[in-house]
Structure 1
Amino acid sequence: MRPPVLQAGAAGNLCPRRSRRRDPDRTPKDRPVKVSDLHASICHALGINPNKEAMTPLRRPMKLVDNGKPVAERFS
């Protein structure tokens, strides 16, 4: 049994017919979630500190999440 996988992609310009039909009012009005917030939520769910810095192979620090906050509503 394989573990679940989260995939993301953008087909905005690759499929113009589909994007023309898309309803512009489908965006959330009350609390839109940014990508960095999603990353911070995933780190929080896995028990990883989202503010941690990892070292790249070139020995440069890299933030795991760039200015993201976990979505508290998902974990209440």
Structure 2
Amino acid sequence: SFQKKHDIILDLHSKSYSNKEISQYLNDRNIKTPHGKDYYPSLIWSTIKKLKLRDKRLVHSPYELTNFEF
């Protein structure tokens, strides 16, 4: 599942694995991208970036409603 792959990527990243090492780890275990392809370092980088942005948006950013009328 996507969540399991994301958890693996973030776990390895938190253990200071490089993007190249993470992509090799996933490819060595035959874990494919959502499109069925091999991972490569720049894809790991963009995945980590998107996961961090999503986490920040969902967890750390309260919404504030202002200036609306009925």
Q: TM (normalized to structure 2)?
A: 0.34
Report which of the two has the higher share of helix.
Answer: 2
* TM-score for both structures, normalised by structure 1: 0.32
